[in-house]
Amino acid sequence: MVTTRSATAAAAVASSKSPAWPLADDALARAAEPAPVPASATASAPDPTVPPSTAKLRARRQAELQRAEQLRQAAQEDEDAALLADDKGKLKGKSQVSVEAEWQPSPLMRLYRDHQLDVPLAILIISYLGAAVAPTSVFAQIAYPSYRRDEDGLFAKGRLDLAFIAYYVVFWTFARAFCIDYMIKPLGRSLRVPKKLLDRFGEQGWLVLYYSTAFSVGFNHIYNSPYWMNTEQFWIDYPHKFLTGEFKAYYLLQLAFWIQQMFVVHIEKPRKDYAQYVVHHLVTCALLVSSYLCHFTRIGNAVLVTMDVADIFLCAAKCCNYAKLRKTCDSLFVTFVLVWLVSRHYVYFFFVRSIWVDVPNILEFKWDPQNEYYISSNFQYFFLALFGILQVLLVFWLYLIVRVVLRVVRGSSAEDNRSDDEE
The burial class, CB within 10 Å (0-12 / 13-18 / 19+), for 89 is exposed
How confident is residue 322, by pLDDT bands cut at 50, 70 and 90? very high
pLDDT in tens, 191-243: 999 999 999 999 999 999 999 999 999 999 999 999 999 999 999 999 999 99
Give the distance, in angstroms, between the CA of residue 304 and the centroid of all CA atoms in the same chain.
Answer: 27
Contact 280, 390 (CB under 8 A): yes
Give CA–CA dist 273/270, Å, rounded: 8
Looking at the DSSP bridge assignments, the partners of residue 366 are 375
Phi-psi region of 13 (alpha: psi -120 to 50; beta: other; left: phi over 0): alpha
- What is the per-residue pLDDT for 88? 54
Contact status, residue 260 vs residue 167, Cβ threshold 8 Å: no
Give the chain's length: 423
Strands 373-375 and 366-368: antiparallel
Give me the pLDDT at residue 18, please: 43
CA dihedral 316, 322, 324, 325 (to 10 degrees): -10
Residue 375 φ/ψ, nearest 5 degrees: -125, 120
Q: pLDDT, tens digit, for every residue of 243-252?
A: 999 999 999 9
pLDDT tens figures, 337-366:
999 999 999 999 999 999 999 999 999 999
pLDDT of residue 104: 84
Q: At what angle do helices 198-223 and 160-179 cross, to 10 degrees?
A: 130
Read off the amino acid at residue 295: H
C-alpha to C-alpha distance for 351 and 302, rounded to whole angstroms: 8
pLDDT, tens only, 169-186: 999 999 999 999 999 999
Mean pLDDT of the chain: 84
Query: Which tens digit of pLDDT belongs to each residue from 258-274?
Result: 999 999 999 887 888 88
Residue 376 and residue 365 in contact, taking contact as beta carbons nearer than 8 Å: yes
